[in-house]
Amino acid sequence: MTGRWQALLRLLAVQGTWNYERMLGVGMGYAAEPLLEDLKTVDPVRHGEAVVRSAEFFNCNPNLAGLALGATARAEYEDVPGPQIARLRTALCSPLGALGDDLFWAGLVPALAGAAIAAVVLGAGWKAIVVFLVVYNLVRFATAIWALSTGLDAGMRVGAAIGGSWVPRAVARIGPIAGACVGFSVPLVAGWYLRGFGWGGAGGALAIAATGLAMSRWFGPSLSSVRFALLAMALLLLFRGVGL
Amino acid sequence: MVRRRNARAIQRHAAALAAGESNAIRWLQYAGLARDGARGALLTGLGLAAACALARWLPINRETAVGFTLVAVGSGLAAAANGAVRSAGRGARLKWLAAGALAGTLVAVLR
């Protein structure tokens, strides 16, 4: 099977056509195209069916999408019945979404961001931001390479390959690290920002933070952090405008 | 808006997708990426234009600027704390979050 690197590069833009109907489907179809190219000469009918299947509804964390892409491409070459491949795609959506979200969005990103922010406050400067970007993208790219090759090697047995891989163990370990990094960075950043405002200013900002926290817990998603900030700024402008 | 437009483009090419035409998939992906890029450029431009307009037309004295800064920092803290607590759940992660917050507070006070 040729086109691995081309498929890998295409996977980096797998969310390019994200929509509420097929979600990642078209992006997966676009990434699958180079992998399915050899099938065109061997079995043109099967190739056409495989292209249709590759662009159907699919959703998961984009960093682990290579597992599903590789597994389904291998299954197409192994002449696995189409409905079975469609079931595999459907079955992979939830676990790949949950594992990827826990690993990246709730783990690696907050851990690295917290560490980078704390490093900036402690004097590392812009180098900490560069290190954050380099490390995050290296991990992301290495994961994409691993995911695609594991999917291609495992085929229909990709579920067992995921279960026995480093991903579940990493998910269990990265959560506490992310919690500690974020917890460490938040008071540091607060102190850094509020240093020039004295105790009165710091108390005011902390009161606003406490109000925002209480209101967002009370009202839930209808009062997001951005909405609370805009509301607070509008109230500030209003009070200043009427001379309070 | 971009996602709805992507969906409409897919609906227009539904027959080609059902026929397994790779060209249609490629075109949809390039068009989707172009829409995403255009959205990014438009939002950045609007944000910069709004910032320039506010800086020019909205006179802000020092006290109001300090108030804005405190509101921005307070709201940012609320967002960070809310997100951190919500994603920590009730397991080991919450304990590590609390331990990190304690250590961060100590360092911030001692610096």
Please indicate whether, in this complex, the C-beta atoms of A209 and B78 are within 8 angstroms of each other. Answer: yes
Cβ contacts of B108 on chain A, cutoff 8 Å: 187-188, 190-192
Would you call A79 an interface residue with chain B, using a CB distance cutoff of 8 Å? no
Whether A20 sits inside 8 A of B7 (CB atoms) is yes
Last residue of a domain, one of B58, B85, B100: B58
Q: Which residues of A touch B3 (CB under 8 A)?
A: 18-20
Say how many CA atoms lie within 13 Å of A141 toward its Cβ.
Answer: 8
pLDDT at A242: 61
Which chain B residue is nearest to residue A205, measuring alpha carbons?
A: B74
Measured CA to CA, the distance from residue B82 to residue B87 in angstroms comes to: 9
Alpha helices in B1-111 (DSSP H): 2-12, 14-18, 22-57, 62-88, 92-110
The CA distance from A148 to the nearest CA of chain B, in Å, is: 20
Tell me, yes or no, whether B2 and B51 share the same domain: yes
* B55 contacts chain A (CB < 8 A): no
Does the CB of A221 have a partner CB in chain B at under 8 Å? no
Q: Which domain holds residue B42?
A: 1-58
Same domain, B71 and B97: yes
Whether residue B31 has pLDDT greater than 90: yes
Note whether B64 and B54 are same-domain residues. no
Residues B51 and B64 in one domain: no
Q: Please say if the pLDDT value at position A213 is more than 60.
A: yes
3-state secondary structure labels for all residues of chain A: CCCHHHHHHHHCCCCCCCCCCCECHHHHHHHHHHHHHHHHHHCHHHHHHHHHHHCCCECCCHHHHHHHHHHHHHHHHCCCCHHHHHHHHHHHHHHHHHHHHHHHHHHHHHHHHHHHHHHHHHHHCHHHHHHHHHHHHHHHHHHHHHHHHHHHHHHHHHHHHHHCCHHHHHHHHHHHHHHHHHHHHHHHHHHHHHHHHHHHHHHHHHHHHHHHHHHHHHHHHHCCHHHHHHHHHHHHHHHHHCCC
What number is the ipTM of this complex? 0.82
**Once rounded to an integer, what is the mean pLDDT over residues B84-93?**
80
Segment B8-27, tens digit of pLDDT: 988 898 888 888 888 999 99
DSSP assignment letter at B61: -
Which residue from B21, B32, B97 is facing A17, i.e. has the nearest CB? B32
**A114: which chain B residues are within 8 Å (Cβ-Cβ)?**
100
In a shared domain, residues B10 and B44: yes
Share of chain A above pLDDT 90, in %: 69
Q: How many domains does chain B have?
A: 2
Same domain? B84 vs B104: yes
Q: What is the mean pLDDT of chain A?
A: 91
Return the pLDDT at B86.
81
pLDDT of residue A244: 52
Query: A interface mutation test: which of B1, B96, B102 has the most A CBs within 10 A?
Result: B96
Residue B97 to residues A12, A72, A205, Cα–Cα distance (Å):
32, 39, 21
Let me know whether B54 and B74 are in one domain. no
Residue B102 has pLDDT above 80, yes or no: yes
Domain residue extents for chain A:
4-241
Percent of chain A exceeding pLDDT 70 equals 98
Window B:3-22, CB contacts with A under 8 Å: 3-4, 6-7, 9-11, 17-22
Best of A76, A184, A199 to mutate (most B CBs within 10 Å, chain B): A184
pLDDT at B93: 85
| CA distance to partner chain A, nearest, from residue B15 (Å) | 11
Q: Which residue has the higher pLDDT, A216 or A138?
A: A138
Chain B interface includes A194 (CB < 8 A): yes
Q: Which of B23, B58, B82 to mutate to test the interface with A (most CBs of A within 10 A)?
A: B82
Give per-residue pLDDT as tens, A145-182. Answer: 999 999 999 999 999 999 999 999 999 999 999 999 99
pLDDT at res. A221: 77
pLDDT at B64: 82
B88 and B42 in one domain? Answer: no
Tell if the CB–CB gap between B104 and A207 is shorter than 8 Å.
no
> With an 8 Å Cβ cutoff, are A208 and B76 in contact?
no
- Assess whether B21 and B71 both reside in one domain: no
Q: Which residue in A175, A100, A225 sits closest to B94, CA to CA?
A: A175
Identify the pLDDT of residue A243: 57
- Cβ distance B97 to A22 less than 8 Å, yes or no, reads no
Residue ending a domain, among B58, B75, B99, is B58
Give pLDDT, residue B101: 92
Mutate to test the interface with A, among B3, B10, B13, B25 (most CBs of A within 10 A): B25
Pair B41, B94 in one domain: no
Q: Are residues B23 and B64 in the same domain?
A: no
Average pLDDT (A195-217) is 88
pLDDT of residue B26: 94
Q: Is the same domain home to B54 and B1?
A: yes
- pLDDT, tens digit, 9 for 90 and up, residues A45-101: 999 999 999 999 999 999 999 999 999 999 999 999 999 999 999 999 999 999 999
